[in-house]
Amino acid sequence: MSNIRNVGEMVEPNHDEYNRQRFVSILRKKVLMDFAGDMKTIYQKKVEPNFEKKHGRKPKDGREVRKAMLHEPVFEGWSSLRYNAQLMTWWSVQPAIERDLSDLIQAAKDARAANPAGGSLELNPDVDVPREITELDVHLMPGCFHTEYTDDDVAQGAVYHYGTTVFSGGLPHRRITKGGVASSIANYLKLAHPEFKPKRILDMGCTAGANTTPYKEVYPEAEVHGIDVGAPLLRFGHARAEAEGAALHFRQANATDTGYPDNHFDFITSSFFFHEVSVPDTKKIFKECLRILKPGGLMLHMELPPSALTDPYYNFYLDWDAFYNNEPHYEKFRGLDFPEALAECGFEKDKQLMVRIPNFASTPPDEFKAVATGGDTMRRDHGNGAVWFTFGSWK
C-alpha cells in the first residue's frame, strides 16, 4: 500500500447526506423486491388472465406484456418510484463529491505522478464518444460517463463509484464496489479451465475499473487493461487502482476501433456493457474482439440474458430500462440471436459458449467449484440464486 490517498474512499457524507443515501438505498431495495413482487402478483392474478380471455392465449413477448401493463396503476406507481429512486441515487452522492472535488482531482494527479503500482493511464481527447452517451444521461446519471466540468476532472468517475454503492443497497458511505462480476468470471475460469492462463487481459467499457481489478487479483502475472470512452471515469479508476496497489492499464478508446495490434489479448471481457451499445456497434465490437484476440484466446462477456432465454413477463420487467432509464439499445440487444450474431462476426459456432456463473462472493466454495467443474453451464438454481449470464467464444 502506498501513501497515495484513495479517491475511492475519500468522500465522506455528512449526517444529512448519509441519511439521504440510506433512504435511497432502502427505497430502491423496496421497489425492486417488495413492490416488484406485488406487481408480478397483480399481473398473474389479473392482467394475464384478462389478456387470455381477450386473445385466447398468453402474451407472446415482453412487448405484449408491456402493452397490457402500461396503464395498470400498479405499474405506473412502481415505474415512477423506480425512476425517481434511480435519479435520487446520483443526487444523493453529488453534494459530497462536489464539496471534495478539488481534493479528489489533486489525489488523482498525485496518484498519476507517483504511479506506485505501475499501472498506466492514456487519454485521447479525440476519442469518438458514441451518440447515445453524448445525447443522453445513460442510467439517468447527470453528466453521463464523459462530461468534464473542469481540468483533470474525475467527478463522473466519483459519481459512478459512490453512486453504485448506494444503488446496490450496500453501506452507503463506504466503497463496496468490489467487482462481483469479474471475481465470479475470473474464479470460474480458473476452476473450469485451469490450463487457461491469460497473459494479457482486456476489459471493455471498464468505467471506473471495479470489474477490472479482480482479473489482476486472480491472474497476478497478467497484464490487465481497461478501455472506456469516458476520461473522468478512467482518471478516477486509475487513481483508485494505484492507491490499492493494482497495476491496471487504463486507456481512453472506443471498443469499435481499439487501435490494439492483431492477436494481442488472450482474454477479452466486459460487464454490463453491450446493452448500452447499438446493435451495429455491437457487431463492430465483436469483429474487433476477433481481430485483437489471439488464436486459442477467449472472449467472454457478462450481460443481461437474451430475451430468448427468459419469459415474456421477465422480458417486460428487464426491458424497463430501455424506456425509462436512457438505455435505448437495451431491448434490441437482448433480442439478438447471440450465436447467430457471433457467427456473423466470424466466431465459429462450435467454439462459442454461454455460461451462467454463480456469484462468487455469495456462493459456498464447494458449490461454486461443483458448478465450475460440473459442465452443466446453464443451471440457474445454484448458490443464493445470484448468477451472471455470460456469452462468448474461443478463437
Q: Which residues bind ligand SAM (CB under 6 A)?
A: 130, 133, 145, 181, 205-207, 210-211, 227-230, 233, 254-256, 271-273, 276-277, 281
Q: How is residue 343 written as a grid cell?
A: 457467427
DSSP state, residue 292: H
Which is nearest to 190 in space by CA: 375, 353, 372? 372
Q: How is residue 13 written as a grid cell?
A: 457524507
CB nearer to ligand SAM: give 94 or 177: 177
Pairing outcome for strands 387-394 and 293-303: antiparallel
Q: How is residue 197 written as a grid cell?
A: 492462463
300 has which bridge partners? 269, 392
Burial of 373 (0-12, 13-18, 19+ CB in 10 A): exposed
d(CA 121, CA 231): 10
CB-CB contact of 329 with 277 (8 Å) = yes
CB nearer to ligand SAM: give 104 or 181: 181
CB nearer to ligand SAM: give 65 or 277: 277
CB nearer to ligand SAM: give 126 or 350: 126
- 347-361 in b/e form (b: 16+ CB < 10 A) is beeeebbbbbbbbbe
Nearest approach in angstroms of CB 73 to ligand SAM is: 31
CB nearer to ligand SAM: give 47 or 206: 206
Nearest approach in angstroms of CB 53 to ligand SAM is: 40
CB nearer to ligand SAM: give 48 or 281: 281
